[in-house]
Amino acid sequence: MHPLAERIQMEFPEGFAKATEWRGDLAVTVRREALHDVARFLHDDPAMDFDYIVHVSSVDWPDDDERFEVVWEFYSIRKRHRIRLKTRAPEADCVVDSLTDIWKGADFMEREVYDMMGIRFRNHPDLRRILMPDDYEEGYPLRKDFPLRGKGWRDTFEFLDETK
Amino acid sequence: MKLEDQRTTVYKVDPEHPESPTLPTLRTEELLLNMGPQHPSTHGVLKVVLELEGERLVKSTPVMGFLHRGVEKLAEDGTYHQFIPHTDRLDYVCAMYNNFAYCRAVEKLMNITVPERAEYLRTIVAEVQRIIGHQFWLGTQALDIGAMTVFFYTFRDREILLDWFDELCGARLTTSWYRIGGVERDFTASLLSKLRAFLDYFPPKIDEYVVFLERNRIWLARTKGVAVISAEDAVNFGLSGPTLRGSGVDYDLRKYEPYAAYPKCEFSVPVGKNGDTYDRYWIRVQEMYESVKIIRQCLDQMPAEGPVMAQVPSVTLPPKERVFTNLESMIQQFKLFSQGFDAPPGEIYCGTEAHKGELGFYIVSAGGGKPYRLKIRAPSFIHMGAFDFMSRGYMIADAVTIFGTYDIVMGECDR
């Protein structure tokens, strides 16, 4: 296992779920409850020193028990290493801790995840939609159950209906 | 409230000296002002709600998404090859670098090594694109804050490079010249000689731009000490590119995680000191000189002959002339575009130093010919996250400078 992942497992034996390494990218999955503590550790620990937030993203796996996967990617400018931190949230309770108090840049990135995937962030200062309109009520576009090729709305126009 | 009441001045009595005549104080209240979505300096359609105290910005709330086209969702509906033209439309000023960043990400996913000549071609074109991006930024930023002349000079030279792109791939802006595993076509002799001629022509022209601005009192007054951010905050916000380097952090992926032909070239990464708009301007100007250096080295080092596309038939496209003459190649091309290639399940993140900052693609593959999830790390979007923080306390007119200091393009910001 990657030394960084080993260190996280040592510090958080309860919260650590698994670590994978593929194509040189290290990804560590942690349990939802431990997320904020792990993130704080990644930022503050001198051996970790992840001071730079790269992106926050989310993946929808509708067939899994815990449907949503939230992904943070961090980089250390001084240490020059990279880590991907992941956690899972079930659909019934898709809330994860916000990391805006550690990385201020997470603010807009988490708002985008909320907007696109409907995952709420606990303690986020201003959790509103960011790219879609505020009054958009048709769900969350990047979920897999959101139609990929439109909803056939063209058919609802009368002038396109050739039978009339 | 009647209009006359609003206009009346409210006199306050100093409570400690009720008898003494006090100076009248004006009744003040915060003013909400909408800037945009139709505003020439927002470079697209962006609305910012400004809370003002007099002319000072107290708080600003960006309202984005006017240009949201659901690119990340569209990616899930097409093959990996089909997404390349979509990347042109992210940062439509600098399409080449978006193509480059995306192709690199897919190559990392598929574990493809690009031939050496193609790596050099990619680096050259990427640096030409960086020059175009900085010229565009310099011209429009100067135009926005009151120095119109520079615009004409930078756009004059930008035009030469756009014509060069036109000759290279048939399009000036939406280029789609990069391919997964290589590039679409090799340089011709005419392109090479034109590029060499440009390299001789261009550095004196950068000096010319600088002459217009270096002693321009309006430019100096409106850029020095405006949009200051400390190195620590800039890193914490995830800023990148010249916006971050202006604060003195030399974070440049071309050096930190070298790719393409950059490790074989000698160049320096200019870094600012004060973290203000002027330093970022200085960095961008210096980067144009560095780009010229990189292109020149690449032209000298580049192998004279060689393939420009990796030979991985299951993933990369066959040469175009073979598609027209050879049945197997035609079938290969058809299959790649209609079904795509079978990507292994897994996920990668690949960041590339575009001229605005770190442009990254996070691709999750669940197998099959289409990305399961594709996330674009757009520097403009992340820079907008720091807008409120960076604009507090400045004058309302500085809001324009702060948009400009990020080199913001809404196509990339809203995706």
Residues B64-91 have pLDDT tens digits of 888 888 898 888 888 888 899 999 888 8
Confidence at residue B29, expressed as pLDDT on a 0 to 100 scale: 73
Residue B300: CB partners within 8 Å, gap ≥ 6?
A: none
Q: Which residue has the higher pLDDT, B6 or B213?
A: B213
User: For the domain that residue A8 is a member of, what is the CATH number?
Assistant: 3.30.460.80
Confidence at residue A70, expressed as pLDDT on a 0 to 100 scale: 92
Question: Residue ranges per domain, chain B?
Answer: 3-63, 71-414
Among B73, B256, B362, the residue with its CB nearest the CB of A141 is: B73
Chain A residues with CB-CB distance to B111 below 8 A: 23
* Out of A8-22, B29-43, B211-225, B394-408, least confident range: B29-43
Render B252-282 in DSSP notation, one character per residue: -HHHHS--TTGGGS-------SS-SHHHHHH
Strand order of the β-sheet with B373-377 is B346-353, B358-365, B373-377
**Cβ contact, residue pair A77, B249, below 8 Å:** yes
The mean per-residue pLDDT over the stretch A100-109 comes to: 90
Please name the residue that has the structure tokens 């011209």: B139
Confidence at residue B26, expressed as pLDDT on a 0 to 100 scale: 66
Helix, strand, coil percentages in chain A from 3-state DSSP, rounded to 5: 25, 25, 45
Instruction: Pick the residue from chain A with its C-alpha nearest to B237.
Output: A105
Look at residue B2 and tell me whether its pLDDT is greater than 50.
no
Chain B residues with CB-CB distance to A28 below 8 A: none
Structure tokens at B189: 């002799």
Confidence at residue A157, expressed as pLDDT on a 0 to 100 scale: 59
pLDDT band at A152 (very low <50, low <70, confident <90, very high): low
Mean pLDDT (chain B) is: 85
Residue B186: CB partners within 8 Å, gap ≥ 6?
A: B117, B121, B308
* Out of A47-61, A141-155, B137-151, B338-352, least confident range: A141-155
Enumerate long-range contacts of A109-114, CB under 8 Å, 24 or more apart: A109/A53, A109/A55, A109/A56, A109/B238, A109/B382, A109/B385, A110/A56, A112/A56, A112/B381, A113/A56, A113/A57, A113/A58, A113/A70
Confidence at residue B5, expressed as pLDDT on a 0 to 100 scale: 45
Mean pLDDT (chain A) is: 85
Residues of B with CB under 8 A from a CB of A: 64-65, 68, 70, 72-73, 76-77, 108-109, 111, 233, 235-239, 249, 251, 256, 346-349, 351, 358, 360, 362, 364, 372-373, 375, 377, 381-382, 384-386, 389, 414-415
Confidence at residue A159, expressed as pLDDT on a 0 to 100 scale: 55
**Cβ contact, residue pair B236, A104, below 8 Å:** yes
Strand order of the β-sheet with A82-89 is A16-22, A25-30, A82-89, A68-75, A52-60
Q: What is the CA radius of gyration of chain B?
A: 25
Which is it for the CA torsion A145, A148, A150, A151, positive or negative? negative
Please name the residue that has the structure tokens 């670590």: A19
Confidence at residue B198, expressed as pLDDT on a 0 to 100 scale: 92
Structure tokens at B237: 């916000």
Q: How far is B201 from chain A (nearest CA, A)?
A: 37
- Give percent above pLDDT 70 in chain B: 93
**Cβ contact, residue pair B349, A52, below 8 Å:** no
Look at residue B9 and tell me whether its pLDDT is greater than 70.
no
Chain B residues with CB-CB distance to A55 below 8 A: 349, 360, 362, 375, 377, 382
Q: How many helices (H) and strands (E) does chain B have?
A: 18, 8
Chain B residues with CB-CB distance to A71 below 8 A: 362, 375
Chain B residues with CB-CB distance to A54 below 8 A: 238, 349, 351, 358, 360, 377
Confidence at residue B160, expressed as pLDDT on a 0 to 100 scale: 92
Calpha distance A23→B5 (Å, rounded): 70
Nearest to B337, CA basis, from B142, B179, B145:
B179
- Residue-wise pLDDT for B340-378, tens only, equals 888 899 899 999 998 888 999 999 998 888 899 999 999
- Residue-wise pLDDT for B12-71, tens only, equals 555 666 555 555 666 667 788 888 787 766 677 888 888 888 888 888 888 888 888 889
Domain of residue A92, residue span: 3-160
The mean per-residue pLDDT over the stretch A8-37 comes to: 87
Instruction: Pick the residue from chain A with its C-alpha nearest to B78.
Output: A148
Nearest to B388, CA basis, from A105, A51, A114, A115:
A105
The mean per-residue pLDDT over the stretch B137-158 comes to: 88
Q: Is B148 helix (H, G, I), strand (E, B) or coil?
A: coil
Look at residue B206 and tell me whether its pLDDT is greater than 80.
yes
Q: How many CB atoms lie within 10 A of CB B115?
A: 18
The mean per-residue pLDDT over the stretch A12-25 comes to: 86
Confidence at residue A156, expressed as pLDDT on a 0 to 100 scale: 61
Look at residue A154 and tell me whether its pLDDT is greater than 60.
no
* Out of A150-159, B315-324, B344-353, B387-396, least confident range: A150-159
Which is it for the CA torsion B397, B208, B214, B234, positive or negative? positive
Spacing of C-alpha B36 from chain mean position: 21
**Cβ contact, residue pair A23, B346, below 8 Å:** yes
DSSP state of B318: P
The mean per-residue pLDDT over the stretch A52-59 comes to: 91
Calpha distance B336→B369 (Å, rounded): 9
Amino acid at A138: E
Calpha distance B48→B37 (Å, rounded): 8
Q: Which CATH architecture is the domain B71-414 placed in? A: Orthogonal Bundle (1.10)
Confidence at residue B7, expressed as pLDDT on a 0 to 100 scale: 42
Residue A49: CB partners within 8 Å, gap ≥ 6?
A: A43, A76, A78, A79
The mean per-residue pLDDT over the stretch B207-230 comes to: 86
**CA–CA–CA angle A46, A47, A52 (5° rounding):** 75
Q: Do residues A120 and A127 lie in contact, with contact meaning Cβ atoms separated by under 8 Å?
A: yes
Read off φ and ψ for residue B148, nearest 5 degrees: -80, -30
Confidence at residue A4, expressed as pLDDT on a 0 to 100 scale: 84
Tell me, what's the ipTM?
0.87
Calpha distance B72→B186 (Å, rounded): 30
The mean per-residue pLDDT over the stretch A23-35 comes to: 89
| Cα dihedral value B230, B232, B235, B239, nearest 10 | -10
Q: Do residues B229 and B389 lie in contact, with contact meaning Cβ atoms separated by under 8 Å?
A: yes
The mean per-residue pLDDT over the stretch B242-257 comes to: 89
pLDDT band at B8 (very low <50, low <70, confident <90, very high): very low
Structure tokens at A117: 């995937």
Look at residue A116 and tell me whether its pLDDT is greater than 70.
yes
Distances (CA, A) of B314 to B323, B334, B341, B399: 15, 12, 6, 50
* Out of A117-131, A148-162, B129-143, least confident range: A148-162
Read off φ and ψ for residue A7, nearest 5 degrees: -65, -40
Q: Do residues B253 and B415 lie in contact, with contact meaning Cβ atoms separated by under 8 Å?
A: no
Q: What is the CA radius of gyration of chain A?
A: 19
As to burial, measured by CB atoms within 10 angstroms (0-12 exposed, 13-18 middle, 19+ buried), residue B16 is: exposed
The count of structural domains within chain A is: 1
Q: Establish how many alpha carbons lie within 13 A of residue B232's alpha carbon, considering only the half-sphere containing its beta carbon.
A: 2
The mean per-residue pLDDT over the stretch A116-128 comes to: 88
Confidence at residue B394, expressed as pLDDT on a 0 to 100 scale: 87
The mean per-residue pLDDT over the stretch B197-225 comes to: 88
